[in-house]
Amino acid sequence: MKKLPYIAFIVFAVLLIISGLRPERYDTDFDVEAFAELPVQVGGRIKPIDSVARNTLLIFAGRQKVITPEGTTLSPIEWFMDLTMKPEVADTYRVFKIEFPDDLGLPGLAQQGQRYYSFNDLLPHFDEIIRLHSEINPEPKKRSAYEQQIADLNDNLTLYHRVMHSLHPIGDAERLNRLVDEYMSFQQMVPAGMEALRKQQAGEDYDAELLSAFINYGDDYLKLSQTAYLRVVPPPPPVEPLDNWKNIGLELLDVIKGEPLSPYVSGYGALTMAYRNDQVDMFNQTVDELRLRFEADFPGEIGRVHFERLFNAAQPFYLSMLLYVLVFLAVCVSWLRWPHELSKAAFHILILAFLIHTFGLLARMYISGRYFVFVTNLYSSAVFVGWGAVFLGAIMERIFKNGIGAAMAAMVGFCTLIVAHHLSMSGDTLEMMRAVLDSNFWLATHVTVITLGYSAMFFAGTLGLIFVIFGVFSRNFRKNDARTLGSMIYGVTCFATLFSLVGTILGGIWADQSWGRFWGWDPKENGALMIVVMGAIFLHARWGGICRERGLACLAICGNIITAWSWFGTNLLGVGLHSYGFTDSGFFWMVGFVLSQLVFIGLAQLPWSFWRSDFGQDKSSKERKRILIASE
Amino acid sequence: MKALLKFFSSLKLTVVLLVFAMMLIFFGTLDQVQYGIWHTQKLYFESYIAIWAYPEQAPGYEALQWLHIPMPGGYLLGGMLLINLVAAHVTRFKMTWKKSGIFLVHFGLILLLISELLTDLLAQESQMPVDEGGRANYSQSYRENELVLIDRSNPDYDQVHSIPTSLLKPGKVVDVPESDLKIRTVRYYPNANIGRAQPGSPHDSPATQGAAVKMNIVAHPAEVTYDENSINTATAFVEVIAPEGSLGIWLVSNIIDDRFPPQMVHSGDQSWEIALRFQRHYYPFEVELVDFKHDKYPGTEIPFNFSSEVMVHHEDHTKNQKALIYMNHPLRYEGLTFYQASFANQDRTSIFQVVRNPGWILPYLSVLLMGLGMVIQFGIHFVGFLNKRSS
């Protein structure tokens, strides 16, 4: 009976995991999964269409689902299929998220309480959008929120148009329903068309009708080659992974040069025809053929592409985020009832969440082909900061068994994954690295170590917050607890200082290796140095007896501010070699975060008599005694 | 004396200095938005006192423009920290095993501070552009300038007489090294706008010789720029004085470079080219660029490789060397280090950063010491902590 709360929480966690890992069900007989796994080359790497569909939808809608006017919910890949193959239907889906439609300056667009709009909703306003867009500040960093909204809308509409043209030319239903015939007649026309062109230029008699039809095709495919977003056509085998792929338009144009048309092009044409005519068998068979062809051409890539789709579907970071919430809940309840059982449950769920989090990290490494490289951009740094903090928290929990380690781990893990989620809105999070940053050794050492330093700093800072909150508000917080918490903060800060120092210095060595300057006073370097100095201040203040528990907790909270500045703030300045991830709204979040931390530091400055905890009352009475003695 | 020593060795002083260091770094980062990295470095980290002023671009400048925050600069803080550290070790610390980690960390830190100072004083950075198939035997600074008189009379070599522009003070006369000539500076502008004199506007040019007279060029002083991507057009009017008397006044500027016909100074049967140019460092070897590669990821503008295949031809042929210079893989040669810095000219020219830094090895040593020290120190703490808990 005593075990019931433990069992309840564990069962709930396991149910969450199972429901998270259950494969997605599609309400159709089309082999959506196989289609999702077809490869494309975007941003310098080969990935499944599924990833493109998800990233594109995230950019438009900020979420990974589409609700049709009929109320059905579509997954990103189903939406993508409609967008490319049944564009007339996809144009009615509300996929464009507009945060403040009333302020856009497009009369008649905004609908009460509606933040999502379809292509067809926006269609009547195109001229106005183009006009508004031409008036905004061309310098992205100097745009107002309103101007940014216009710019985003314009960019999104362009991207929508380009993605739509990815698999074949777009036209009316009649054209889409006979794409394969179109390609066929185009191919047959090429020799005669070229001959007519030659004759025309030589001033001889030629077939004017044929030539004009031929030139029409040429113009159309030229436009398509400039519009089509995805590179879906690999070069004929044998192929290397870094060879250039072509988009549909380029491939069709090259037929004019006498090159044979790639079977991928007609494959996608056939897919579209089958999808439009509800020919399930035909569709599934064509997808299978495309997949087998890719498998034969890229035997080394197929496994990775397949894995990437499974990874996308499993969403391990989302799952661990849910579990972190559960851990936090379990700890909070454990402080009120069933302390033993629930803190055990919290610890075990934390380990589960940590394993899933770790799996996500490793999976990203496998997909990008960079082992031991945890951090390549701001997004992955957020994921890794969370991971490091959870790791530390789990160790703390193992040592102290008081729930604080687990709660803090859950909190930092959850918050950093939320930050990561928001950073992922801008597109692919597994983008390629610029040459100067492209060094697996340094990415694996410097960046990993310094990011672990951030983790530890945040962890210590969060413990500082707990100290202040418990100290001021909780009656149960005794002298002993204060001492334990103090030594936790101290231990984690030691760790943070060590990692920040080593990481910073490794960065210096990397800089010396790559541009001959050990130290350049670049903002990001300075930020890292500030963390080291913060750690040094904390340690010296403690060793010198300058600060006691309360002061040290405040210093740890200062560490939060410094770390946030180093991590995000320096990127806001837009100077230097490290400013790789500028984010507009970041500034407000940054200011908000700093203010919130200052509030807690201010709270800690309350005189001891206002502290409700045992610890505070004890201090308060000692202080009064001292004053009495002094006045006597 | 004892009180002084106590003050300088106290931990409180350490904490105060560290807090100032934090301030300095923070404001020294903020001001980079205005002044760029290089100038901010001079203002904050290579100075004794730094003053932060509320920036003009920031919101609320009208109300807050009085706001100036003075703080100790990098040299002062670094020096104080050094004194503090040494004093603490002399007075308070006893060498024990338990403190060995702290000793290592502090010793590494001292080494790091010294190496930074050495780098400030001794390191020299310049750039060497080389065309594919071409050779270069010099690199040039992109900030410092020099006034040169070049004697090209010998067919085997040119003789270059160089005067750094820091010696060009209006009204002052300096000797041209290894020659009978003297230079009197008439005007010197660290940055200037140069152009044809407009008809009707006041024609104010002291020049009596060279391009300024032939092409009717005038120079107006301009504000010095700290922008990383733009350069200062250093410009001077200089009078060349031969033993027999003045030869005239020339306008020289680093923007009047190889693209223009050389300006000549004649005295007796000798003649020199006169020019103001970015300071050059000549080497006893030539760097030949065999091949430059710039590869991008397919379908993106993201480069994944810049690399330069070079052949170094030394006067002493035994020192000839072949090398591939690419990102994170510089060439260390004759006390110099060559880094792949940039490229130009539709990927046909590679630009190397050439660094001479005699103290480059010191940070590596200090890093080892500090890392090791921290691991030892925290290791001792951690083991002690675990023992205490388990007992």
pLDDT digits (tens, 9 = 90+) for B323-352: 999 888 889 898 899 998 888 888 889 999
| pLDDT tens profile A263-294 | 999 999 999 999 999 999 999 999 999 999 99
Q: Which residues pair with B151 in a beta bridge?
A: B159
| Partners of residue B364 in chain A, C-beta under 8 Å | 509
Find all residues with CB under 8 Å of A625, minimum gap 6, and list them: none
Judge: A515–B339 Cβ closer than 8 Å, yes or no. yes
| pLDDT tens profile A12-66 | 899 988 888 777 778 888 999 999 999 998 888 899 999 999 999 999 998 889 9
Query: What is the Cα–Cα distance from A203 to A206, expressed in whole angstroms?
Result: 9
Give me the residues of B, 240-299, that contact A with CB < 8 A.
296-299
Instruction: Give a yes or no: residue B170 inside a domain.
Output: yes
Overall number of domains in chain B: 2
| pLDDT above 80: residue A147 | yes
> What does the pLDDT read at residue A581?
37
Q: pLDDT band for B55, please (50, 70, 90 cuts).
A: confident
> What does the pLDDT read at residue A53?
94
Task: List the single residue in B10, B25, B299 with the smallest CB-CB distance to A42.
Answer: B299
Residues B154 and B246 in one domain: yes
Judge: B297–A435 Cβ closer than 8 Å, yes or no. no
What DSSP line would sit under B62-120, residue for residue? HHHTT-EEEEE-HHHHHHHHHHHHHHHHHHT----GGGHHHHHHHHHHHHHHHHHHHHH
**Alpha-carbon distance B194 to nearest alpha carbon in chain A (angstroms):** 29
Instruction: Give a yes or no: residue B335 inside a domain.
Output: no
Instruction: Give a yes or no: residue B119 inside a domain.
Output: no
Residues B69 and B150 in one domain: no
Q: pLDDT band for A585, please (50, 70, 90 cuts).
A: low
> What does the pLDDT read at residue A436?
64
Does residue A516 sit in helix, strand or coil?
coil
**Residue B342 near chain A (CB below 8 Å):** no
Quick one: DSSP state of residue A231? B
Judge: A505–B363 Cβ closer than 8 Å, yes or no. yes
Judge: B330–A514 Cβ closer than 8 Å, yes or no. yes
Instruction: Give a yes or no: residue B140 inside a domain.
Output: no
Residue of B nearest to A245 (CA): B298
Task: List the single residue in B10, B21, B302 with the smallest CB-CB distance to A434.
Answer: B302
Judge: B328–A439 Cβ closer than 8 Å, yes or no. yes
Instruction: Give a yes or no: residue B102 inside a domain.
Output: no
Residues B275 and B165 in one domain: yes
| pLDDT tens profile A507-544 | 888 888 877 778 888 888 899 999 999 999 999 999 88
| pLDDT tens profile B186-205 | 999 999 988 887 776 666 78
Instruction: Give a yes or no: residue B241 inside a domain.
Output: yes
Residues B180 and B259 in one domain: yes
> What does the pLDDT read at residue A583?
45
**A241 vs A454, residue with greater confidence:** A454
> What does the pLDDT read at residue A291?
92
Owner of token pair 């745009």? A143
Judge: A546–B12 Cβ closer than 8 Å, yes or no. yes
**Alpha-carbon distance A436 to nearest alpha carbon in chain B (angstroms):** 6
Task: List the single residue in A497, A527, A546 with the smallest CB-CB distance to B15.
Answer: A546
> What does the pLDDT read at residue A469?
92
Give me the residues of B, 110-169, that contact A with CB < 8 A.
115-116, 119, 125
Instruction: Give a yes or no: residue B242 inside a domain.
Output: yes
| pLDDT above 70: residue A444 | yes
| pLDDT above 90: residue B143 | no
Mutation for A interface: B9, B10, B12, B15, most A CBs within 10 A: B15
CA within 13 Å, CB half, A403: 22
Lowest pLDDT segment from A62-71, A191-200, A295-304, A578-587 = A578-587
| pLDDT tens profile A305-343 | 999 999 998 889 999 999 999 999 999 898 888 888 888
Judge: A434–B385 Cβ closer than 8 Å, yes or no. no
Residues B69 and B179 in one domain: no
Task: List the single residue in B299, B360, B378 with the smallest CB-CB distance to A231.
Answer: B299
| pLDDT tens profile B288-299 | 999 999 888 877
| Partners of residue B26 in chain A, C-beta under 8 Å | 526, 530, 565
Residues B86 and B158 in one domain: no
Judge: B40–A570 Cβ closer than 8 Å, yes or no. no
Owner of token pair 């599924």? A50
Interface contacts A/B by beta carbons within 8 Å? 161
Q: pLDDT band for A4, please (50, 70, 90 cuts).
A: confident
> What does the pLDDT read at residue A87?
92
Closest by CA position to B145, among listed B192, B212, B190, B194: B190
Residues B50 and B176 in one domain: no
Mutation for B interface: A537, A542, A568, A578, most B CBs within 10 A: A537
| Partners of residue A529 in chain B, C-beta under 8 Å | 25
> What does the pLDDT read at residue B201?
64
Provide, rounded to the nearest whole percent, the portion of chain A with pLDDT above 70: 96
| pLDDT tens profile A359-410 | 999 999 999 888 888 888 889 999 999 999 999 999 989 988 888 899 989 9
Give me the residues of B, 35-54, that contact A with CB < 8 A.
36-37, 40-41, 44-45
> What does the pLDDT read at residue A438?
66
Q: What is the mean pLDDT of residues B117-128?
A: 87
* Domain around B86: 2-92
| Alpha-carbon distance values, B24 to A554, B48, B119 (Å) | 21, 11, 20
Strands (E), A365-493: none
| Partners of residue B39 in chain A, C-beta under 8 Å | none
Helices (H), A516-613: 523-543, 549-564, 570-573, 586-604
Closest by CA position to A99, among listed A133, A67, A145, A57: A145
Closest by CA position to B311, among listed B324, B322, B303: B322
Give the tokens for residue B124: 């020299």
Task: List the single residue in B327, B357, B374 with the smallest CB-CB distance to A436.
Answer: B327
| pLDDT tens profile A551-583 | 999 999 999 999 999 988 877 775 544 443 344
Domain ranges of chain A: 65-164, 173-301, 471-626
The H or E element containing residue B297 is none
Residues B154 and B252 in one domain: yes
Which ipTM value was assigned to this complex?
0.85
> What does the pLDDT read at residue B56?
76
